Amino acid sequence: MRDPRPTILFFSPTGRSVPDFLARWVDGRDLTVVPLPDPGEVEQMVLRSLPRLVVIDADGGPQGLELCTRLKADSYSAIVPLAVLASRHATERVQQWFAAGADEVITPLFEPAEQAIRLDGLMARTARDVAVNPSTRLPGTTEIEREIRRRMENGELFAVCYADLDHFKEYNDRYSYNDGDRVIYILSRILHDVVKGMLGNRGFVGHIGGDDFIFVIPFDAITDVCGEVLEVFDTLIPYQYNEQDRRAGYYFGKDRRGQLHRVPLMTLSIGIVTNQHRRFAHPAQVSELATEMKSYAKTQPGSVFVVDRRHDPELDEGGPR
């Protein structure tokens, strides 16, 4: 029967058994370690199952270094953290391992406690890095769901705001994907700076992907925060167009049938769901309603925010029970 615990792969072409230090570390963290002597099999397992960690025996000769280089050269397998266990006589090759892409090199120069701490730190850094969007460095969907769940469990009165750009595809078509990426980054900074500047730790900003963002704020901050976001957005975004388009306030683009039509400058739509008059059982419910409200906001002209005013009949008007 397959072990359901997360997997650590240990590669040693010499067939070396799993070092005692690594075995103790694995057992203490509810992980399972799989020793493999074949680099091809390691690559297959990494691509097939994305293990939690790959550990390479530095004393196994050049095969380990070559495996490290290959794994870190592929964008898919590169996200799997890779640690190297080096014996005392192999410590002079530490620089070589890091140059090949290793995320950590554990040597006998470290005390056992520090060896364990370094592996713990590597795992923590990887979990954090995977949880953020690489282009904006904002938390991704996993952290967004965790934040919504946290506020639900704490009984807070909160608002989930789904922000989405209008006429973004037409902007990309007229200008370039590089320009589009810059607009997404600008929007990420507007959201972050406004939400964090006004609310500090009471506000959260996440990036779903593309031009879709989620920010979570206290219910009583909706008007101030969203109003400021839209004002800053409408002030800065026109400068992402050339002077002719900016002065006109529009340009002509082609629709899906190839017909020319007038395209306005980008605006921002924010759909908002709150738990003022609703009781949510799961973050997925909040996400579904926020998506619905975002779609409705996009039917309104200009940059707007709209709040879902519907409520569950069993809840009092004053808020969730």
Q: Is the pLDDT of residue 79 over 90?
A: no
Residue 158: both structure tokens together: 């909160």
Least confident of 34-38, 128-132, 195-199: 128-132
Choose between 48 and 32: higher pLDDT.
Answer: 32
Domain boundary among 76, 105, 130: 130
Does residue 161 sit in the same domain as residue 302?
Answer: yes
Does residue 211 sit in the same domain as residue 290?
Answer: yes
* Tens of pLDDT, residues 9-25: 999 988 889 988 899 89
pTM of the entire predicted model = 0.70
Q: Is the pLDDT of residue 317 over 60?
A: no
Q: What is the pLDDT of residue 319?
A: 45
Least confident of 72-76, 98-102, 268-272, 311-315: 311-315
Does residue 163 sit in the same domain as residue 113?
Answer: no
Task: For residue 254, count other CB atoms closer than 10 A to its CB.
Answer: 13
226 touches 270 (CB < 8 A): yes
* Element of type H or E holding 34: strand 32-36
H-state helical runs in the chain: 20-27, 39-49, 62-73, 94-100, 112-130, 141-153, 168-174, 177-199, 222-236, 243-248, 283-297
Does residue 60 sit in the same domain as residue 121?
Answer: yes
What CATH number is associated with residue 214?
3.30.70.270
Residue 136 falls inside a structural domain:
no
Q: Is the pLDDT of residue 305 over 60?
A: yes
Residue 1 falls inside a structural domain:
no
Q: What is the pLDDT of residue 48?
A: 81
B/e letters for 33-48, b = 16+ CB within 10 Å, e = fewer, are bebbbebeebbebbee
Does residue 104 sit in the same domain as residue 166?
Answer: no
The stretch 254-280 carries a mean pLDDT of 90
Distance CA 306, CA 159 (A): 11
Q: Is the pLDDT of residue 221 over 90?
A: yes
Residue 196 falls inside a structural domain:
yes
Least confident of 48-62, 142-156, 216-230: 48-62
Residue 195 falls inside a structural domain:
yes
Whole-number percent of the chain with pLDDT over 70: 93
Residue 236: both structure tokens together: 């800065």
Does residue 120 sit in the same domain as residue 196?
Answer: no
Domain boundary among 100, 130, 160: 130
User: Residue 269: CB partners within 8 Å, gap ≥ 6?
Assistant: 163, 164, 165, 166, 294, 297, 298, 300, 303, 304, 305
Residue 106 falls inside a structural domain:
yes
Residue 160: both structure tokens together: 């989930």
Q: What is the pLDDT of residue 47?
A: 82
* Tens of pLDDT, residues 286-303: 999 999 999 999 999 999
Predicted confidence band at 142 (pLDDT cuts at 50, 70, 90)? confident
Does residue 190 sit in the same domain as residue 240?
Answer: yes
Residue 117 falls inside a structural domain:
yes
Does residue 198 sit in the same domain as residue 264?
Answer: yes
Does residue 27 sit in the same domain as residue 80?
Answer: yes
* Tens of pLDDT, residues 184-207: 999 999 999 999 999 998 999 999
Does residue 123 sit in the same domain as residue 182?
Answer: no
| Domain range enclosing 24 | 7-130
State the average pLDDT for the chain. Answer: 89
Q: What is the pLDDT of residue 92?
A: 66
Residue 232 falls inside a structural domain:
yes
Distance CA 19, CA 110 (A): 15
Residue 318 falls inside a structural domain:
no
Q: What is the pLDDT of residue 1?
A: 38
Does residue 73 sit in the same domain as residue 179?
Answer: no
Does residue 73 sit in the same domain as residue 195?
Answer: no
What CATH number is associated with residue 124?
3.40.50.2300
Q: What is the pLDDT of residue 98?
A: 92
Q: How many domains does the chain have?
A: 2
Q: What is the pLDDT of residue 3?
A: 45
Comparing CA positions, the residue from 163, 204, 167 lying closest to residue 187 is 163
Q: Which long-range contacts (CB under 8 A, 24 or more apart) does 292-296 make?
A: 293/162, 294/162, 294/163, 294/164, 294/269, 294/270, 295/271, 296/271
Domain boundary among 130, 155, 186: 130
Q: What is the pLDDT of residue 287?
A: 93
Comparing CA positions, the residue from 209, 216, 131 lying closest to residue 164 is 209
What is the residue type of 174? Answer: R
Bridge partners of residue 216, in order along the sequence: 160, 204
Q: Write out the DSSP string of 273-286.
A: EESSS---SSHHHH
Task: Provide the 3-class DSSP secondary structure of residue 304.
Answer: strand
* Tens of pLDDT, residues 84-120: 998 766 556 888 899 999 999 998 888 888 999 999 9
Q: What is the pLDDT of residue 163?
A: 98
Q: What is the pLDDT of residue 2?
A: 43
